[in-house]
Amino acid sequence: MQNIIFFGDSLTAGYQLRANEAFPALIQQRLDALKLPYKALNYGISGDTTAGGRHRVASVLARQPVDVFVLALGANDGLRGIPVRETTQNLQEIIDQVKLKYPVAKIVLVGLEFPFDLSAFGSHQYGRYAAEFKASFRTLADKNSVAFVPFLLQNVLGVRALNLPDGVHPNAEGHKILVNNVWAVLQTVLV
């Protein structure tokens, strides 16, 4: 069996859902149905930022061999207005640590976008931040030649029926769509 590490925040952890409803568990079901020799391991921690991920990645990498590393962090950075440069540096450091410890591991970077146009709050700087934030993920993926999921919450964000009452976290039905968003890219790196 090869290990797929899903390293993220509440979107990966499956905030307020049962463990078997979060998208990494649903990907495991798909792997099993296709008889693919992979084990999906969910290392999502609600509230985690890229800085938090940078600090905890070494302990995760030390737990078991890593064959595929799915990096899905940054949402909390964006919500907190952390400078895009800082978020990008943290993500780069996580990628560097994975490459150093497991040079042949495949890496998949998961992109994020803001849930709404922030420029409505009275300043174009919010809109500029949202654009820079979104673009930073693709730039980082290209720079590192890693597989890239353009937008984790594609077809889920803003759809009331697919989210918890907070309007931010996908519900069980929403996670079924997250599976498709991630699988479209993940399947291309599985050997």
pLDDT tens digits, 119-136: 444 555 677 888 899 999
At residue 19, the pLDDT reads 96
Phi-psi region of 44 (alpha: psi -120 to 50; beta: other; left: phi over 0): beta
Inter-CA distances, 61 with 44, 48, 64, 146, Å? 14, 17, 6, 18
Per the model's pLDDT, the better-predicted residue between 106 and 158 turns out to be 106
Q: Could you tell me the pLDDT band of residue 53, with boundaries at 50, 70 and 90?
A: very high
Q: Minimal CA–CA distance to 157: which of 111, 188, 88, 124?
A: 111
For the chain, the average pLDDT equals: 93
Query: Is the pLDDT reported for residue 101 higher than 50?
Result: yes
Mean pLDDT over 57-74 rounds to 98
- Only one residue has tokens 């934030």, namely 133
At residue 125, the pLDDT reads 65
Q: Could you tell me the pLDDT band of residue 117, with boundaries at 50, 70 and 90?
A: very low
SS3 55: helix
For residue 155, which phi and psi values (nearest 5 degrees)? 65, 10
Cα–Cα distance, 170 to 176 (Å, whole number):
9
Indicate the DSSP class of residue 105: -
At residue 190, the pLDDT reads 96
For the range 100-105, what are the long-range contacts, defined as Cβ-Cβ under 8 Å and sequence gap of 24 or more? 101/58, 101/61, 101/66, 102/61, 102/65, 102/66, 102/67, 102/69, 105/66, 105/67, 105/68, 105/69
Query: What's the pTM?
Result: 0.94
At residue 18, the pLDDT reads 97
Mean pLDDT over 75-97 rounds to 96
Query: Is the pLDDT reported for residue 173 higher than 60?
Result: yes
At residue 127, the pLDDT reads 75
Indicate the DSSP class of residue 37: -
